[in-house]
Amino acid sequence: MSAPGILAARILGDHRHGFTTREGGASRGAFATLNLSATVGDDPARVRENWERLRAATGLDFARVRQVHGCRVVEAAAGTEPVEEGDAVATAAPGVAACVSVADCLPVLLADPRSGAVAAVHAGWRGTIDGAAEAGVKALVERYGARPAEMLAAIGPGIGPCCFEVSRDLAARFRDEVGQVTATSRDQGSRVDLWRANELLLRKVGLARRRIETLGRCTSCEERTFFSHRRDRGMTGRHVAFISTVS
């Protein structure tokens, strides 16, 4: 049995955290191998096995939500199945991992060194433009007394500016609402840079540039390492991103 593939962010080194890859699981075919979603058509027994491997590798309880491309932050005191609707999870409970599920959409992990509170945020293009990452920051500020200038953030693997083609209209919205540098439109098409967009949005709410790490890994480019909803035309698995308080 192989261990689950987990990437880490240097900046979150004190926290048990990670971004899973598609490696080290039991699923097959389009879901090979570490698919962590039970709602994408994979064999449920294999998905359970994959979660067992992740729990064994990390020793954490995973607090999950049913994601709806919104900005609601759910506070978790214990591990939960994805039942409650939300697109971010916050916690300060030892041994509990705030966890979101992704396959192209960006995972953003946040940590407040002062209170130890953490959050995991799911930010697709809609969540990015609607302020999902800011909602995560705000939740840590309001509920745990975090100060944005001290907070740490890691922007995980997701579809990169190399591959994220969008309509001209959506690119224009990103330039207007988020920043000129977050989208380009040329004759060959329009592209959005969700990494840059989330970094800019985090800085707008007070995070320091040097406390934000962007992994810069494109899920669509790296087929051996990642699932990609767009590249695989919807028939694919899901990764998770997770973080727990320092304990």
Binding residues (CB under 5 A) for Zn ion: these are: 160, 162-163, 218, 220-221
Distances, alpha carbon 151 to alpha carbons 129, 163, 233, in Å: 21, 30, 36
Q: What is the per-residue burial (b if ≥16 Cβ within 10 Å, else e) of 211-226?
A: bbbbbebbbbeeeebb
Q: Tokens 């939740």 identify what position? A: 139
**Please, which residue, 66 or 217, has the CB nearer to Zn ion?**
217
Nearer to Zn ion, 62 or 164 (CB): 164
Q: How far is the CB of 76 from Zn ion (least distance, A)?
A: 32
Nearer to Zn ion, 67 or 228 (CB): 228
Shortest Cβ 158–Zn ion spacing (Å): 10
Is residue 177 exposed (0-12), middle (13-18) or buried (19+ Cβ within 10 Å)?
middle
Write the CA distances from 69 to 19, 86, 146, integer angstroms: 19, 8, 25
Nearer to Zn ion, 220 or 245 (CB): 220
**Residue among 37 and 220 whose Cβ is closer to Zn ion:** 220
What is the torsional sign of CA 50, 227, 18, 69? negative
Q: How far apart are CA 4 and CA 24, in angstroms?
A: 4
For Zn ion, the closer CB: 27 or 219: 219
Minimum distance from residue 65 beta carbon to Zn ion (Å): 27
CB of 57 vs Zn ion, minimal distance in Å: 27
Q: Do 70 and 85 contact (CB within 8 A), yes or no?
A: yes
Shortest spacing between CB 219 and Zn ion, in angstroms: 8
In the complex with Zn ion, which residue's Cβ is closer, 57 or 163?
Answer: 163
In the complex, minimum distance from the CB of residue 231 to Zn ion, in angstroms, rounded to a whole number = 9
122 to each of 127, 139, 176, 187, how far by Cα in Å? 7, 14, 22, 31
Q: At what angle do helices 132-144 and 194-204 cross, to 10 degrees?
A: 30
CA angle 203, 171, 202 (to 5 degrees): 10
